[in-house]
A and B are shown apart, each in its own frame.
Chain A
């Protein structure tokens, strides 16, 4: 259950959440085979996860030839190469898919070279694109359509740009894209002027409800600045400055700090003349910080920075040493990352609310989680041109299901509206079977954020159970265990308590791809859109009704990958598969941490899936430690244990 939203921009999110309204536009994939896979339904998208292993060497040679051909034809455009931060002699390249001069959204591959020789290629290429790239709408007309849809103006002074947008049910749309001040990126059909896709620039932590006894009471050290008259939560002791802004529970202040000026009425850019963030730096008169949100938030922001810098050689949010911002005392029951171009200096910002009547959401793992979203965003976008995208994929589900009252078969249309959608909308079916959908990219994004939370806890705290201990729980320091990756199934998904079992029954977080949470969805035919329903199939067989769709279930399904991380470190027997995993042991956890971090920041393509991510992780382990190493074996076994 979600609490009532308190802020304007959050309200949009919660409305969307409550209405179970998710737009997506990427391919529906039934299954992905190792190496190269073809989608079963939807537009033709071909995924690549090819490495230089002996049994794949010919695939790699063929793929290289194909990439060269596409590059020659202008269908792939090489972005600036980057020297690998961890391995000397390695170069990371990103090739963006181009259709007649226009980028294809999410299309492209990332290629790793050693001394000029290709080691691995990961990514997706959209095929059979036959699209005229001459827009009928001008950029100004597109912007007007976006403004009407968003109810507000553009976030930056940049004009909309063209993109080829793959559609969920097949085909492609030439679209104008631009970021608007409602913290969403709009894609408007350049032919019709219709909104074809909306991407939420806010990456939420899980909504949290109701319990907690406040912060731990532990003393924190804060690196601050003195003005002579007061102290500011402005850290100048680290290579990059970290700044904690005080939202003062004021919706307008927080909104202005996040969104910046309204360009329709101001002529300057966000970076140039936005809200003066310096006026909102958290302060204290005597350097004994009474505000728990500021104390924890600022200290933890610095400690997460330290972990990234010291353990992963990553400097700040975007690895350039730019100033890192967070906002605390936000009047919201949530914590989130909002991507660039938002935030005080247009590089994104993390923001933290609090539990109702309780603790601020600024525990070490929560701060690390949100900051990792920023790292993920910047690292993938800077390499590939796109951030890590939501990738909605699907499998064919049952021919029928029952909600206890009725038996539903393919072709059925909603008889009730409200939170489920509109009356008459058909539930998505293909070939006589319901299509079960999930947001793999979003879940992977969340998993990496949780993993950073565990890693930073291990960096700061001694191992153990309870508060201020390094563990695999999220939120435990404020008695809010929202997930645990050591035993995912021991935490139940949000329950709809107005329904009897089995519909409202407790279902644990998944620990394997085999018990992933996948959604039924409705198809809004005239808009070529699909919306998730809070009707899920847990293990391909078990039907359940949830209280909401939980941000596409991305937090729910994140435990598949974060559990693999846990197994790779600690080892053990996977609960549902019974597979044994030889972990590297907590004393060597830095190896696994580095493998995962490198996978995201060096190798991951913008559009990914669980199987593609598994291939990237194995390559990362291979790159860093070699095939026969305990670290590779741990990662390989852990991924296999969770079904990857």
Chain B
């Protein structure tokens, strides 16, 4: 949370400074202002946590240990973004954005359960755990380079740091059912633990803005962001997990 808080402070401070400059400039000209605010949403593909697993003990295992592995499906989630920018010069500008990604994923779990009466006779359980959620809140700052492509169309490239607040449900254990003669078992479910980390990474991307009005337009953007969070798993601390990913979004922009 500290990193996120710092990110938000950074954005707030920048906004105050930039808004002061913008007010002065707007007073001088009736042209659209140098500020622009974008609200949008889209999809973000994510990298999945690498497979992980653990051994575990049980009062009915004797001196043998059970084990399980979890393979996460990863996938894509819906992202919401709010960004604010300021054109410092005709070709240059700065911006900051806040985005929120949340999605639910499945995990394939495989376990090996020791027999209560016999050594070296494992029951294999397999199944899919669902509803493991992943949430990423990011604050990004970026420097923008504008490339005009006509009177109403403009490209921009941007890059900068990203502050992450990443939360992930990770498998921490498995539940199973079995009955005499204990030669087979069924996966009852997975136990999960909520892990979080606040890494700092980067973002880069580009956008295409089409202004259908004097002050308003739509923006299509593609942003790639990346960092590495470290989560505590059943194996211990800490497992590196990639956060971020490729985000494509569509938004509405207002210049003022």
| Interface positions of A (Cβ within 8 A of B) | 219, 221, 223, 226, 237-239, 299, 302-303, 306, 309-310, 460
Q: Which of B62, B118, B180 is in CB contact (< 8 Å) with A238?
A: B180
A221, A237, A309 pick with most chain B CB within 10 angstroms: A221
Some 8 contacts from A to B, beta carbons below 8 A apart, are A221-B62, A221-B116, A223-B117, A237-B116, A237-B180, A239-B180, A309-B180, A309-B181
Size of the chain B interface, CB-CB below 8 angstroms: 12
Complex: A226 Cα to B118 Cα, angstroms = 19
Q: Which positions 108-126 of chain B face chain A at CB distance < 8 Å?
A: 115-119
By the criterion CB–CB under 8 Å, are A219 and B181 in contact?
no
By the criterion CB–CB under 8 Å, are B116 and A219 in contact?
no
By the criterion CB–CB under 8 Å, are A221 and B117 in contact?
yes
Closest B residue to A306 by CB, please name it: B181
Shortest beta-carbon contacts, A-B, top 10: A221-B62, A221-B117, A310-B181, A237-B116, A239-B180, A238-B180, A302-B117, A306-B181, A223-B117, A223-B116
Q: Which positions 42-71 of chain B face chain A at CB distance < 8 Å?
A: 59-60, 62-63
By the criterion CB–CB under 8 Å, are B119 and A237 in contact?
no
Query: Which residues of A have CB within 8 Å of B182?
Result: 237
Query: Which residues of A have CB within 8 Å of B119?
Result: 219, 221
Q: Which positions 174-193 of chain B face chain A at CB distance < 8 Å?
A: 180-182
Q: Which positions 1-18 of chain B face chain A at CB distance < 8 Å?
A: none
A238 shortest CB reach to chain B, Å = 6
By the criterion CB–CB under 8 Å, are A221 and B180 in contact?
no
| Interface positions of B (Cβ within 8 A of A) | 59-60, 62-63, 115-119, 180-182
Q: Which of B59, B62, B117 is in CB contact (< 8 Å) with A306?
A: B117
Complex: A49 Cα to B207 Cα, angstroms = 96
Complex: A221 Cα to B119 Cα, angstroms = 7
Closest B residue to A299 by CB, please name it: B117
Complex: A299 Cα to B116 Cα, angstroms = 11
A460 shortest CB reach to chain B, Å = 8
Query: Which residues of B have CB within 8 Å of A310?
Result: 181
Query: Which residues of A have CB within 8 Å of B62?
Result: 221
By the criterion CB–CB under 8 Å, are B118 and A221 in contact?
yes
Query: Which residues of A have CB within 8 Å of B118?
Result: 221, 303, 460
Complex: A219 Cα to B59 Cα, angstroms = 17
Complex: A306 Cα to B117 Cα, angstroms = 10
Complex: A223 Cα to B116 Cα, angstroms = 7
Query: Which residues of A have CB within 8 Å of B116?
Result: 221, 223, 237
Closest A residue to B115 by CB, please name it: A221
Query: Which residues of B have CB within 8 Å of A239?
Result: 180
Complex: A310 Cα to B118 Cα, angstroms = 15
Complex: A226 Cα to B60 Cα, angstroms = 11
Query: Which residues of B have CB within 8 Å of A309?
Result: 180-181
A194 shortest CB reach to chain B, Å = 52
B134 shortest CB reach to chain A, Å = 40
Using A221-B62, A237-B117 as known contacts, list a sample of 9 further A-B pairs with CB atoms less than 8 Å apart, ordered by residue number in A.
Answer: A219-B119, A221-B115, A221-B117, A221-B118, A223-B117, A238-B180, A306-B181, A309-B181, A310-B181
Closest A residue to B183 by CB, please name it: A310
By the criterion CB–CB under 8 Å, are A237 and B63 in contact?
no
Query: Which residues of B have CB within 8 Å of A303?
Result: 117-118
B60, B62, B117 pick with most chain A CB within 10 angstroms: B117
Complex: A309 Cα to B179 Cα, angstroms = 14
Closest A residue to B60 by CB, please name it: A237
Closest A residue to B117 by CB, please name it: A221
Complex: A238 Cα to B179 Cα, angstroms = 9
B209 shortest CB reach to chain A, Å = 69
Query: Which residues of B have CB within 8 Å of A221?
Result: 62, 115-119
Complex: A257 Cα to B118 Cα, angstroms = 29
A296 shortest CB reach to chain B, Å = 13
Query: Which residues of A have CB within 8 Å of B180?
Result: 237-239, 309
Complex: A557 Cα to B117 Cα, angstroms = 35
A224 shortest CB reach to chain B, Å = 10
Closest A residue to B118 by CB, please name it: A221
Closest B residue to A302 by CB, please name it: B117
A546 shortest CB reach to chain B, Å = 41
A119 shortest CB reach to chain B, Å = 32
Complex: A440 Cα to B59 Cα, angstroms = 48
Complex: A219 Cα to B114 Cα, angstroms = 15
